[in-house]
Structure 1
Amino acid sequence: MTKPKVLISDKMDPNAAKIFEDRGCDVDVKPGMTPEELKAVIGQYDGLAIRSATKVTPEILEAATNLKVIGRAGIGVDNVDIPSASAQGVVVMNTPFGNSITTAEHAIAMIMALARQIPEANTLTQQGEWPKSKFMGVEVTGKTLGLIGAGNIGSIVASRAQGLRMKVIAYDPFLTEDRAVEMGVEKVDLEALTTRADFITLHTPLTDETRNILSRERLEKTKQGVRIVNCARGGLVDEAALKDLLDSGHIAGAALDVFLEEPAKQHPLFGTPNFICTPHLGASTTEAQVNVALQVAEQMSDYLLTGGVTNALNMPSLSAEEAPKLKPYMALAENLGSLVGQLAHGELPKISIEVEGAAAKLNQKPITGAVLAGLMKRFSSTVNMVNAPYLAKERGIEVREIRNEREGVYQTLVRVTVATSQGDRSVAGSLFGATEPRLVEIFGIGIEAELTGNMLYIVNDDVPGFIGSIGSLLGENGINIGTFHLGRRTTGGEAVLLLSVDQPIPQDVAEKANQLQGVKLVKSLTF
C-alpha cells in the first residue's frame, strides 16, 4: 500500500511532522513557498497542513489533483476557499479547541489592559515620566461584558470574566436558552448588547453574516464610554468608525489583535489615544502552538489512514473508532445510492435515507453522505462524500433522513427511496455476517444480491424458459455469468433478474435481451 503523502507549507511545531511519520505518512516540510511554487507541487500530495500564511485558492485547488484533506492548525479557515475544496471533494479540517484557552486569555488580558491603560502608562513611565494623575482607570468588577459569539472561546471568556465578578450578557444566534443558563450568562439580542455593555468582546468567525457586525451605526448606539475588544477576526468591526468614535470620546478604549488587512504595518488607528493593538497574538503561546500542530497531524493522519473525520467543516464527523463499524454500511449505502441513480429516470426531486435496527444506533450522517455519493455518480465521475451533498443541493434534491430503531425481518437495514415521475421507488440492503453488504429488496421485490462490478438488470414476466433464453443469449456472445439472482412479486407476475458478468454488456447485446419474450426493461449497471 502506498503511503499517503503530506505537505506542511507553514511554520509548525516539528512534532507535527514526527506524528505524520510515526503514523505511516510521508511528509515534506516546505514553509514559505510562493503561490506559484505551491501550485507547481501540490498535485503530488494527499494532504496539506497549513496555518494562516498559506492561501488555498481555487487555482491551488485546481492543481491539487490528488489532494484529499486540508488541515488548518488553528480555528480560522478564511485562508481556504471551502466551497472550491468541497466541490473538488477535499475535506477541510481545523482545530477549534487547541488554542481556545490561549485566545480567551488574550481577550481577558486586553480587557484588563484597557481598564487600567497599562500600555500607555508603561511607555510614559519608562520614558522617565511619573504620570500617576494622568491615568484614572476603571474596575471591571460589577461591569457588564457583552459577548458577541458564545462558542468555544466565548464560553471560556465568559467563565474567566465571571471570575472577575463581571456580569456577562451574550449574543449568539446558535446559543440556546439551556446553554445560556449552563454558562451563567444572559442571552440578549444584538441591539440590547450594544446599548447595555460596558465592555464588548467579539468571538465569532468572519462570514457574510458577521462582517462589520459592529458597524458604524451599531457603534454609535453603544453605551457612552464603552470599551471594545476584538481578538477574533479582522472585518468584524468597522475600523474607520472605531477611529472616529475613539477620537470623539464616545468609545473610551479599544483593543485589537486582528485587522481587516494583515500584516497591518500602517493604520489610521495607530497612535490613537486609548487604543491598544497586538500583531494577531491570540493563539501565540507555546502551549497553543504545540497543541494545534499535534491535533491537526493526528486528525489528518486519521482521515488518510483510517477514514476518521474530526472537526471537518464540509462533511460529517466520523471518529477513528466509528470508521471501522461504519465502513461496511457506507459501502452498502453507496451501492444503494448508485443503484437508484442508475435505474431512476429523469429528475429526482426527493430522496429519503432510512436506517433500521442496528443501523439506527449508528452515526447516520456518513451513511447519508455515502448514499448521495453513489447517487450523484450519475452526474459526475469525480463525486465523493464531501462534494455529493453540494451537488445534490445544486440540483435541488431534497434529502430526508429517517431513523427506526425497531428491528424488522433483517437485524439491520438501510433503505433508499427516491421520488420519480412514476411514484416513489425504493431499494434496501443489509449486512450479512455484519460485514458483507447485500441488496435485499428492489422496488418492492425481495432479492438477495451482491452489487459488484458489471451487472445486468432485467425486469420481465415470470414465465418458464426465460432463464434459459437469457443464458443462451449471453453465452452466444461470449459473456460469462458470475452470479445469478432472481426475485418476483408473485408467481407468474413481474420478476427481476440481476446478473453479475465478467465484462461490460455491449449495447447490441442489451438490445437483443430487450427483445426477448416477456422482457420489460434491460439495464447495464456498474459498481
Structure 2
Amino acid sequence: MKKVLIPTKLAGVAASMLQTAGYEVVQDADTPLAEQVKQHPDAVAVIVRSEKVTPEIMDSLSSLKLVIRAGAGYDNIDIVYARKKDIDVMNTPGANSNAVAEEVIAMVLAHFRHIVQGDLTTRQGLWEKKNMMGTELTRKTVGIVGLGNIGRSLVKRLQGFEPTLLGYDHFLAKQRALIIGVTPVSLEELFSQSDIVTLHVPGGPATKNMVGKEFLSLMKDGSVIVNCSRYGVVDEEALAAIRATGKKIAYLTDVHPQDAPGDKPSAAVADLILPHLGANTKEANLTAARRSAEQLIAYFDEGDTSCVVNAEFPSGLNPAHLRLSMMLGTLARKAGGEQAIRRIDCTFYGDLKLFRKWFTPHILEGALPNAEKGLMPAAADQSFKEHGIVFKAREPKDDVPYGDSITLDFMTEGHGGESVCTSVRGLVAEGVPMVSRLGNFNGLYFDLRGHSIFFRYADRPGVIACIASVLSDNGINIDNIVAPGDSVSGEALAVLKTNKPVADDLLKMIASAIEARMAFSVDF
C-alpha cells in the first residue's frame, strides 16, 4: 500500500479520496514536516500547501516519487533538486482564483464602508458614524493589471456593481480582452483613469517595484490600490513618499515577504492589511484538495504526468534545443516591439519535428514572460489559448535544407491595429544556441548566450563606429558583432555581444544617435 503524507490543513476530501483508492494516508498539520519524514520514510508522495519541501526533506524520503502543491505557486518546493532525484512536482492552478477575486472585492468594500474601524469603535461603546462617510463601489472605474485566471474571475464578480472595467495584460490580444468584458488600455491610462487599481501579476525581477513613482503619481486623489499578487510589486517607499505630499491613495494588501509571524513592512503604509487570506477559503481548499487527490491517483494508477511542472524532456531531445526555443521566443517578442501577440506559427525541421509538442512550454516562456513557467505541453497550449493567441506547429517542407532548426513567426498587433509579422530562425551548433535569421537578415549565426543588443537602421557608413564609441565611453567592451545588410530595404542589422548588460537609457541614447528603426537588448 502506497503511503501519502499530508502535513498541512488541507480539506479532508483528499485523504478520503486517497484512502478509498487504496492509499495509506497520514495527515498531520501540527507536526513539522521534517519530523514526519523521519517517522514515515517510506512515503511515496507528499501533498503540501505553504510547507517547504527542501533537498533535506527529499533525501529523507527514499521512496518519494511525487510532490503536489495544493495551489498555484510552487516556489516552496525545490523543483530543480526534485528533478535530479527523479521526483515529479505538480500544482493545482486555478483552484484559488475565485477566492482571491472575492477577497479583492471584500477588501475594497471594507475600506469604502469603514467596516473594520466601524466594528472596533462600536464595540468600544463609541458612535463614530459621522466620521465614517462611505463610498460606493457601484459604477466606479476599476483597473485590473493582469488578466489571467484571477483577473478574469474578478471581471465576472464585479459585473453586478456596474463598473467601467479597464484592463492591462501586455500579452493578451486586444480582441480577447474585449470579449471577456474589459477595455484594454495602457498602464498609464489605467492608473490615471481608475478609481481602483487591483494587481494580479506574478512576482520576481520582471515585476519588482512595477508600481512605482511613475504610475503612483498618475493616480487620482482618493483612489485605491489593491495588491493581492506578490510582495514587492508595489514600491511601498515610493507610495509613502507620494502620500507624504498630501495625495490620498489608499493601499490594501494581502502579501508579505514571508507568510509567518513578525513585523510586516507594509504595516507603515497600508490602510488595510491581511495575513495572505486570498486562497484561504473552505471552497478553494476543497477544490485544491480534490484536485490534488485526483492528480495523485491518476499519476500512480494511470501514469498521467500532464500536471507535472518539472517534467524531464524525452530521450533523444537535446535540452539545448529547448533552451533555443525559449530564446527565439524572447527574441521574436522583443523584435516585434513587445506588442500583443495574436498568433505564433512554428516550424521544426529535421528530427525536431518528432518532439515539437515539448517546445510549447519553452516558447510560452519566451513569448509571455509573465505566464506560468514549467508547464507540461498541454497546459502550455491552454495558456496560449487563455491569452487569446493562436499557436500552431506547421509541417516543414522536406526539401528545405535547414537541418535541426526552429522557425518562429509572431503575428502581433501594430500601433495602428494592423498585423505585423516578426520571424526568427535558430539552431544549435556544437551545443551553442544560435540565431541564424531575424526578419530578412540571414546568415547571422550569432551566439544568443550572454548580453546582446540589436539595432536596425538605414544602411550607411559610420554607424558601427558610432555604436562602438558610445559603448567604449561607458566602459562596455564588445565581445562579438555581426552586421548584415538587406539590399532590398536598404537597411542593416547590427547585433553586438557585450561583456555586461546595456542599460535601457544607454540603449535609447545609441538608438537616437544612429536613428535606429528598432533597438532592443536580450540577456540570457
- TM-score range with shorter-chain normalisation? 0.5 to 0.7
CA 404–350 in structure 1, closer or farther in 2 if over 3 Å, else same:
closer
Q: Which sections of structure 1, spanning at least 5 residues, go unmatched?
A: 317-329, 339-348, 356-362, 370-384, 387-400, 409-415, 423-527
Preserved contact between residue 256 and residue 264 of structure 2 (Cα < 8 Å): no
**1:44 Cα deviation after fit:** 2.9
When normalised by structure 1's length, the TM-score is 0.57
Preserved contact between residue 269 and residue 275 of structure 1 (Cα < 8 Å): no
Percent of pairs with identical residues: 34
**1:164 Cα deviation after fit:** 0.7
Quote the Cα distance in structure 1 between the aligned partners of 2:83 and 2:292: 19
Quote the Cα distance in structure 1 between the aligned partners of 2:429 and 2:265: 62
Give 3-state SS (helix, strand or coil) of 2:357's partner: helix
Correspondence for 2:156: 159
When normalised by structure 2's length, the TM-score is 0.58
User: Do structure 1's residue 134 and structure 2's residue 131 form an aligned pair?
Assistant: yes
Quote the Cα distance in structure 2 between the aligned partners of 1:32 and 1:238: 36
Comparing 96-105 and 150-159, the one that deviates more = 96-105
For residue 266 of structure 1, what is the amino acid of its counterpart? D
Superposed CA deviations along residues 181-233 of structure 1, whole A, max 9, x for unmatched, are 11111223333322322111122232331233223554344333221112233
For residues 7-156 of structure 1, the aligned pairs below 5 Å read 7-34=5-32, 36-37=34-35, 40=38, 44-52=42-50, 54-156=51-153
- Which of 218, 222, 237 is the aligned partner of 2:219? 222
Quote the Cα distance in structure 2 between the aligned partners of 1:252 and 1:268: 18
**1:271 Cα deviation after fit:** 7.4
CA 269–124 in structure 1, closer or farther in 2 if over 3 Å, else same:
farther
Give 3-state SS (helix, strand or coil) of 1:194's partner: helix
Preserved contact between residue 246 and residue 253 of structure 1 (Cα < 8 Å): no
**1:64 Cα deviation after fit:** 4.8
User: Do structure 1's residue 289 and structure 2's residue 281 form an aligned pair?
Assistant: no
Quote the Cα distance in structure 2 between the aligned partners of 1:421 and 1:75: 37
Q: Which sections of structure 2, spanning at least 5 residues, go unmatched?
A: 319-347, 362-374, 377-391, 406-426, 431-524
Quote the Cα distance in structure 2 between the aligned partners of 1:147 and 1:205: 14
User: Do structure 1's residue 353 and structure 2's residue 345 form an aligned pair?
Assistant: no
Correspondence for 2:3: 5
Superposed CA deviations along residues 322-381 of structure 1, whole A, max 9, x for unmatched, are xxxxxxxx9xx75x669xxxxxxxxxx9973335xxxxxxx9636999xxxxxxxxxxxx
Quote the Cα distance in structure 1 between the aligned partners of 2:152 and 2:359: 32
CA 309–163 in structure 1, closer or farther in 2 if over 3 Å, else same:
farther
Give 3-state SS (helix, strand or coil) of 2:278's partner: coil
Quote the Cα distance in structure 2 between the aligned partners of 1:421 and 1:210: 34
Correspondence for 1:254: 251
Comparing 190-199 and 289-298, the one that deviates more = 190-199
Quote the Cα distance in structure 2 between the aligned partners of 1:261 and 1:120: 26
- Which of 184, 200, 205 is the aligned partner of 2:197? 200
Superposed CA deviations along residues 136-195 of structure 1, whole A, max 9, x for unmatched, are 332323322111211111111112223211111122233222320111112233333223
Quote the Cα distance in structure 2 between the aligned partners of 1:421 and 1:135: 69
Superposed CA deviations along residues 221-274 of structure 1, whole A, max 9, x for unmatched, are 4333221112233332233444454555424322222222333543355476x7
Preserved contact between residue 79 and residue 89 of structure 2 (Cα < 8 Å): yes
Comparing 257-266 and 244-253, the one that deviates more = 244-253
Quote the Cα distance in structure 2 between the aligned partners of 1:42 and 1:189: 53
**1:305 Cα deviation after fit:** 1.9
Preserved contact between residue 256 and residue 266 of structure 2 (Cα < 8 Å): no
User: Do structure 1's residue 298 and structure 2's residue 300 form an aligned pair?
Assistant: no
Preserved contact between residue 7 and residue 32 of structure 2 (Cα < 8 Å): no
Preserved contact between residue 170 and residue 193 of structure 1 (Cα < 8 Å): yes
Preserved contact between residue 349 and residue 396 of structure 2 (Cα < 8 Å): no
**1:104 Cα deviation after fit:** 0.9
CA 253–19 in structure 1, closer or farther in 2 if over 3 Å, else same:
same
Correspondence for 1:466: none
Larger gyration radius, structure 1 or structure 2: 1
